[in-house]
Structure 1
Amino acid sequence: MSRTATVSLLLAACLAGSLHSAPEPPIYNSLSTSHPESGLNGMVSSREKLASEAALQVLKDGGNAIDAAVTLGFAMAVTTPQAGNLGGGGFMLIHSADTDTTVAIDYREKAPKAAHRDLFLDEKGEVDKELSRYSHLAAGVPGTVAGLAKALEEFGTITLQKALEPAIDLAENGFPINEDLYQSLKTGKARLEKHSPQTLSVFYDGAGQPFHPGHLIKLPELAATLKLISDQGIDAFYRGDIADKIVADMEKNGGIITKEDLANYEPVVREPVRGEYQGYEIVSMPPPSSGGIHIIQILNILEPFDLKSMGHNSAASIHHMAEAMKYAYADRSKHLGDSDFHPVPTEWLISKKYASEIREKMNTETATPSVEILPGEPIHEGLDTTNYTVIDKDGNAVANTYTVNFSFGSKIMPPGTGFFLNNEMDDFSSKPGVPNAYGLVGGEFNAIESEKRMLSSMSPTLVLKDGKPFLLSGSRGGSQIITATLQVLLNVLEHDMNLSEAVAAPRIHHQWLPDTLFIERGLSKDTIKLLEQKGYEVKEGRAMGTTNSVSYQDEVFFGAGDPRRPDTHAVGY
């Protein structure tokens, strides 16, 4: 590693120390740089070291960024079962250097055909949170296997069998538990014991304690599932033996996913949403993700303000960001949903004109109470997620975010499959106006409907400079995904931070409702006092998001693993 990279790594570690708050696990960071003249050709950043290294090996063997990203996705389904997944779904943004185009692959889960608007309401008409989060009804039809396979088929160069090899090896021959998985097992035991007792013998010792970091575990059932997919393709998952096991578990436990639901699932290639900020092109996910629209919307609102002169994380710059966030999340509550079911006014929401109208209403000195902010009206009419980023020597680039929603999703593992089912049905508005698990309020457009995709905050995002990939980022963190990704972009594009600084810097979050400004530790007491004087209710708490990011600047590759989670790993060659 170069001297500059080493200094940046130390700086990131120092910055990260101020972000940590109990009871989170220890904070680590990974940073790598590379230069073409040294024969170094690519960069990978993810939540987990073994998966990052598997992806890097694909690049070393001559594969492209898409090959590496798909390999990484399957590997993390083994080494990070609380977040990486076969039983969930997500979004992938792919930039192809050959055609100089960017596409979005939507492999978000879908509601089963039998789903209906009142699925989670009790006899009093109130939302039953146990049903929406920890029952077989909570699972949407999984999209990960089909989505990763589609990305490989359309944009990759290796076979699905080749992409699955590292995952199969890790599941069959074992891998050491890392700190991240250990912490998830500690907090998730009661639910896992209740919903999937067969997992106790895999992840816990004879005394019922989670195996400690470094303990080698093997996942033979998951290995068998992966081998079936390798041998038979995605039909094994959606029409064959794996589908049979999912459906049998559903029928036994009151779930509604059927063989027809699985057989009919298809990912969708969509046109990304695009914006412009300070001469950079911002490319991100379209609906049913809300992330891309609102990142661009907030950037549009903030662009004319001189945030750099205000100072990074000064009371003034935080105030401007928080006000812009409120307006965006208010719009999210009304206008966002699955565009295949309801028209989303995307062009209006990401227009410079609408941003200007919002600025005219903003109070630049004091906080506007959220009760005074309503969703705009067009004039013509998301806690366990993980993200990773990859860029290769030719300029192909991938930003991917996928999830099972909560840590281990619904905590339900269909017997014989080795993977957990998501609980993404909770991302619908079970009852319009009632917040979901992340405090997000949704409206009619995100009500439960048969075969509909639930709204998401996942925001894999690409920044182009002169038409070429410059920065790729994204995050985990439910409702905080949008604002965490936004702040990495602002830190680089507005505040001229290097990537390590940008990823490690303290974050803030406001989502309109509740009317609270959430902050990470690391802001000065003076800044907090000034924000309170501006009228904010400030709540200092745990780390927000995990923004594993890569960039290519001045012919140098950079990668930063977010220090907020243990075991993140950025690596280049």
Structure 2
Amino acid sequence: MRPAAARIAASFVALTFLATTLQAQQPNLEPTRAPHAMVVTVEHNATDAGVEILKQGGNAVDAAVAVHFALAVVYPFAGNLGGGGFMLIRDKHGKSHFLDYREKAPAAATRDMYLDAKGDIVPRMSLVGYKASGVPGSVAGVVYAQKHFGKLTLAQDMAPAIRLATEGFVLSDAEARMLQSKNMTLFPASAHIYQRDGNFYKEGETFKQPELAATLVRISKDPDEFYKGAMAHQIADVEKAGGGLITAEDLAAYQVKDREPIKGKYRGYDIITAPPPSSGGIVLVEILNILSTYDLPKLGSDRSAAQVHIITEAFRRAYMDRSDYLGDPDFNTLPLKQMANPKYAAAWRASIDPGKPTPSKNLTRPAGFLPPPPSATKTKESTETTHFSIVDSEGNSVASTTTLNGGFGCGVTIAGLGFLMNNEMDDFTSKVGVPNMYGLMQSSANSIEPGKRPLSAMTPTIITTHGTMFHRPKLAYVMGTPGGSTIITTVANDVISAIDNGLNIQAVADAPRFHHQYLPDRLDFEKKFPDDIVTQLKAMGYDTNRNQAADDKSPGLWGDSELIAVDPNTGELLGGHDSRRAFGKAAGY
């Protein structure tokens, strides 16, 4: 046993914790298997759309375009035309691209736009209604991906979504209930389309969207119309009539960014993940760097108290750096190399007490690595996002995470076009020192400025084996999840459960989740997390919280891991769809 691991294991002798594992809590769920290609999404119709395109000869990017547009139809909670997101692509030759089509602040946006005359935040102004929206990037992003990396035509890739909008799809009970969002009730176009003016949809009914179908047809024929044509002016007119800030000029100025992914190493694997304006990738790499010398399985099983403690302390330290330094790289100089430095991780590791938590207020950043941070503020990120993973028969892979920010965005549907707008402006810092939805701490690097992209936690990730002189790296995992501030910790735990603890990819997707984000200094657990482990960690000194446990009607869940693993021996593709969302699936051929 390594010395660090031995010290930690000894510290837990006094803890009489049970070796509770996922397999002991649930049936032995097996992954979905396919020899050639795999698609995993939150909604079964969207998965089918991706598989359909793959069978037609499309590659992983074509399938991703099909899935994205299908999700805008069948999962309006987070799938979108009026939002934004990220797409991580790794081609069969090992070349990777990170497409950033995050929303941008309109030109008329100002730093204090959500404050009243007294300097206080106007409640819900950044969440609901026309002023909450940033300039949408999704259509530009997926069209860019298709043009540069797809094999088929845009019209072919969009055909499944157009069919779903035109002919409709059958709603499950959960999907029908989701459409009863109170925010959409506030806006006539939304209430008419999604709620039949108060006659709510029910399980088993077919939901058709003719306005959205017509919009999709227009995009398939001329995608530039969304940003520089008649459609752009329709969007701008609706925004103006409602008091929003987005103009036709804002739409015409929108650009997709093809950024260099963040890269790291862990346990003989290469990590390819999201760069800023996502904080996810660099924080994930920092977490894994801190954990890299611990022999986690020697401490206990997956989700044991011993493992959770050490992992949580890595979360705490990496999230402190997230809070102080990260923002839009086009507006800030970010210390990414320093944050990814293994020596910096080692210095952080030395501050971890193997037997008890370090209170966040007592954390002191190791000296000599990072510059002084800008002033910190509290901010939030919504959990209502969606992720999908795809691998095609040639070995191309896509990990994509997209969002409207809040569920159904700001609640506003663009009348005549049939799609919802985002409330992504809420991801900016509205006022220094004032917490918002999820209490994340961030720096003034994330303040509102025209044309700026808000900081995100979205962490689409692709993992490969290390290459050698004679062998190229091989695809191992495609990962990602929604979950706002919990995205990074969920992806980190998925990596650890798969690589360190050897869970199959379905078990990884279903494993109970825990989260710590530095501030508030609280260790959060899903409602289904084992009681005995929570009790042991509370006894160690953690302020523990079982998410929504007081509400018996709430599932107390977060995230939605949609994962793919590659069998290293046979090359078979293994899909893990998160069972938290019963209407999604993994499928392939």
Using structure 2 for the length normalisation, give the TM-score: 0.89
1:415 and 2:421 correspond: no
Equivalent residues of 1:457, 1:479 under 8 A apart? yes
Match of 1:349 in 2: 339
Match of 1:265 in 2: 254
Which of 90, 94, 98 is 1:95 aligned to?
90
1:544 and 2:558 correspond: yes
**d(CA) in 1 for partners of 2:541 and 2:155?**
57
Which of 510, 517, 538 is 1:511 aligned to?
517
Equivalent residues of 2:30, 2:504 under 8 A apart? no
**d(CA) in 1 for partners of 2:219 and 2:196?**
30
Counterpart residue type for residue 451 of structure 1 = G
1:43 and 2:33 correspond: no
Match of 1:228 in 2: 218
Counterpart residue type for residue 325 of structure 1 = F
Which of 452, 475, 483 is 1:477 aligned to?
483
Counterpart residue type for residue 513 of structure 1 = L
Cα distance, 1:200 vs structure 2: 2.8
**d(CA) in 2 for partners of 1:217 and 1:324?**
45
Match of 1:391 in 2: 391
Cα distance, 1:179 vs structure 2: 3.8
Structure 1 segment 32-181 matched on structure 2, within 5 A:
32-35=32-35, 41-97=36-92, 99-181=93-175
Equivalent residues of 1:345, 1:378 under 8 A apart? no
Structure 1 segment 548-567 matched on structure 2, within 5 A:
548-553=562-567, 554=569, 555-567=571-583
Q: Number of paired residues?
A: 542
Counterpart residue type for residue 212 of structure 2 = L
**d(CA) in 2 for partners of 1:406 and 1:180?**
18
Counterpart residue type for residue 387 of structure 2 = N
Match of 2:206 in 1: 216
Counterpart residue type for residue 108 of structure 2 = A
Match of 1:22 in 2: none
Equivalent residues of 1:432, 1:441 under 8 A apart? no
Counterpart residue type for residue 96 of structure 1 = D
Cα distance, 1:12 vs structure 2: 8.7
Match of 2:494 in 1: 488
**d(CA) in 1 for partners of 2:289 and 2:266?**
7
**d(CA) in 1 for partners of 2:146 and 2:511?**
34
Match of 1:38 in 2: none
Q: Secondary structure at the match of 1:361?
A: coil
Counterpart residue type for residue 326 of structure 2 = L
Question: For each residue in 1:92-118, what CA deviation from the matched residue of structure 2 results, as whole angstroms up to 9, or x when unmatched?
Answer: 000011x32111000100111111111
Cα distance, 1:486 vs structure 2: 1.0
**d(CA) in 2 for partners of 1:323 and 1:126?**
34
Counterpart residue type for residue 500 of structure 1 = Q
Moved more, 117-126 or 387-396: 117-126
Question: For each residue in 1:350-384, what CA deviation from the matched residue of structure 2 results, as whole angstroms up to 9, or x when unmatched?
Answer: 11111111111122211111212256676363331
**d(CA) in 2 for partners of 1:94 and 1:411?**
31
Equivalent residues of 1:30, 1:561 under 8 A apart? no
Moved more, 401-410 or 210-219: 210-219
**d(CA) in 1 for partners of 2:293 and 2:542?**
23
1:254 and 2:277 correspond: no
Cα distance, 1:244 vs structure 2: 1.4
Cα distance, 1:310 vs structure 2: 1.4
**d(CA) in 2 for partners of 1:465 and 1:416?**
49
Tell me: CA distance 1:12–1:327, structure 2 relative to 1, closer, same or farther (3 Å): closer
Which of 210, 231, 240 is 1:242 aligned to?
231
**d(CA) in 2 for partners of 1:105 and 1:85?**
16
Tell me: CA distance 1:183–1:380, structure 2 relative to 1, closer, same or farther (3 Å): same
Cα distance, 1:520 vs structure 2: 1.8
Counterpart residue type for residue 573 of structure 2 = F
**d(CA) in 2 for partners of 1:486 and 1:141?**
30
**d(CA) in 2 for partners of 1:184 and 1:376?**
46
1:570 and 2:564 correspond: no
Structure 1 segment 308-457 matched on structure 2, within 5 A:
308-311=297-300, 312-373=302-363, 379=369, 381=371, 382=381, 383-457=383-457
Match of 1:204 in 2: 195
**d(CA) in 2 for partners of 1:16 and 1:199?**
40
**d(CA) in 2 for partners of 1:376 and 1:191?**
45
- In structure 2, runs of 5+ residues without a counterpart are 1-20, 372-380, 467-472, 548-555
**d(CA) in 2 for partners of 1:526 and 1:326?**
22
Q: Secondary structure at the match of 1:269?
A: strand
Equivalent residues of 1:63, 1:158 under 8 A apart? yes
Tell me: CA distance 1:200–1:523, structure 2 relative to 1, closer, same or farther (3 Å): closer
**d(CA) in 2 for partners of 1:183 and 1:350?**
43
Question: For each residue in 1:223-279, what CA deviation from the matched residue of structure 2 results, as whole angstroms up to 9, or x when unmatched?
Answer: 11111111222x111112221121111211221111111001011000000000001
Question: For each residue in 1:449-490, what CA deviation from the matched residue of structure 2 results, as whole angstroms up to 9, or x when unmatched?
Answer: 110000000000011114121101100111111111111111
Equivalent residues of 1:427, 1:436 under 8 A apart? no
Counterpart residue type for residue 300 of structure 1 = N
Counterpart residue type for residue 335 of structure 2 = P
**d(CA) in 1 for partners of 2:458 and 2:171?**
26
Equivalent residues of 2:391, 2:397 under 8 A apart? yes
Tell me: CA distance 1:523–1:494, structure 2 relative to 1, closer, same or farther (3 Å): same
**d(CA) in 1 for partners of 2:68 and 2:173?**
19
Counterpart residue type for residue 184 of structure 2 = L
**d(CA) in 1 for partners of 2:128 and 2:115?**
14
**d(CA) in 1 for partners of 2:158 and 2:225?**
14
Equivalent residues of 2:189, 2:412 under 8 A apart? no
**d(CA) in 1 for partners of 2:49 and 2:436?**
36
Moved more, 119-128 or 492-501: 119-128
Equivalent residues of 2:61, 2:398 under 8 A apart? yes
**d(CA) in 2 for partners of 1:295 and 1:572?**
29
Q: Secondary structure at the match of 1:131?
A: coil
**d(CA) in 1 for partners of 2:78 and 2:24?**
27
Q: Secondary structure at the match of 1:442?
A: strand
Tell me: CA distance 1:532–1:380, structure 2 relative to 1, closer, same or farther (3 Å): closer
Tell me: CA distance 1:571–1:308, structure 2 relative to 1, closer, same or farther (3 Å): same
Cα distance, 1:134 vs structure 2: 0.7
Which of 533, 540, 558 is 1:527 aligned to?
533
Tell me: CA distance 1:30–1:526, structure 2 relative to 1, closer, same or farther (3 Å): closer
Q: Secondary structure at the match of 2:464?
A: strand
Counterpart residue type for residue 418 of structure 1 = G
Equivalent residues of 1:428, 1:442 under 8 A apart? no
Cα distance, 1:348 vs structure 2: 0.8
Cα distance, 1:13 vs structure 2: 10
CA RMSD of aligned residues (A): 1.9
Using structure 1 for the length normalisation, give the TM-score: 0.91
Equivalent residues of 2:193, 2:418 under 8 A apart? no
Equivalent residues of 2:344, 2:369 under 8 A apart? no
**d(CA) in 2 for partners of 1:477 and 1:537?**
21
